[in-house]
Structures are given as C-alpha cells and as structure tokens.
C-alpha cells in the first residue's frame, strides 16, 4: 500500500517535471556577478537545467545543514552506546561473581552437612 501511494504521488510529479523540461528548453543567461555591467561570470543553459541544478544544490545544502545541526545528537547517542556497553559488561561480571559466590556457598553447605 505504501509503495502504491508513493507511486501515486511521484508519477504525476515526474510527468509534470518532464513537461516542464520539454517546455523550457530555450537557453537563458544567468549572471553570477552581483555588480552591474558586463560580466565574465555568466552561464547560458536551458532554464529547466538551471532550475534542476539549483534545486539539487538546495537539497544538498539543506541535508548538510541538517547533518551538522544533528551532530550533538549523534555524539550523545555514541556516548550512550558506550555507557550501555560498559554497564552490560559490568553486569555480566557481577553475575559471574555472584554465580561463583553462590557455588562456593553451596559447597560449604554440602561440606557442613
């Protein structure tokens, strides 16, 4: 069901993007120099390509910003996993010590009887 709903949304979106790309094949000039006048920093490419690249760069920048902002949470999770491993080892050692002591106490009871 989830796959069907995903395709129900993505298929029309893909058709719209394809139609947009076909309709906007004319080259446009994008000037990368913020100062007025003739600039050597310009790109001439189809409009759909420029918009797709800008969207892709935006997605990458947003993903990177999210990854950086969540760094403290990944660090906290890593420390928590380390603490959990340490505490599990400590619990296993204590269980082993308890088993040895219980075995020793059982032998003493047998010897006393």
Q: Give the pLDDT of residue 106.
A: 66
Contact 28, 46 (CB under 8 A): yes
Q: Which residue range forms the structural domain that includes residue 32?
A: 1-59
pTM of the entire predicted model: 0.60
Q: Does any domain span residue 111? A: yes
Residues 93 and 48 in one domain: no
Q: What is the pLDDT of residues 30-71, one digit of tens each?
A: 888 887 777 788 889 998 898 889 999 999 999 999 999 999
**How far is 89 from 91, CA to CA, in rounded Å?**
5
> Do residues 41 and 31 lie in contact, with contact meaning Cβ atoms separated by under 8 Å?
yes
Classify residue 64: in a domain, yes or no.
no
Does the pLDDT at position 105 exceed 80? Answer: no
Say how far apart CA 69 and CA 86 lie, in whole Å.
28
Domain boundary among 34, 59, 84: 59
Do residues 47 and 24 touch, judged by C-beta distance below 8 A?
yes
The percent of residues above 90 in pLDDT, for the chain, comes to: 46
Q: Are residues 50 and 99 in the same domain?
A: no
pLDDT in tens, 59-70: 999 999 999 999
Number of domain units in the chain? 2
């Amino acid at each position: 069901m989830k796959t069907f709903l995903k395709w129900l949304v993505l298929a029309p979106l893909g058709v719209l993007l394809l139609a947009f790309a076909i309709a906007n094949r004319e080259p446009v000039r994008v000037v990368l120099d913020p100062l007025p006048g003739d600039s050597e920093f310009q790109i001439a490419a189809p409009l759909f390509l420029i918009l797709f690249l800008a969207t892709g760069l935006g997605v990458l920048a947003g993903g990177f910003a999210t990854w950086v902002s969540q760094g403290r949470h990944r660090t906290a999770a890593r420390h928590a996993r380390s603490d959990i491993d340490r505490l599990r080892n400590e619990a296993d050692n204590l269980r082993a010590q308890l088993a040895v002591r219980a075995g020793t106490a059982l032998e003493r009871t047998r010897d006393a009887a």
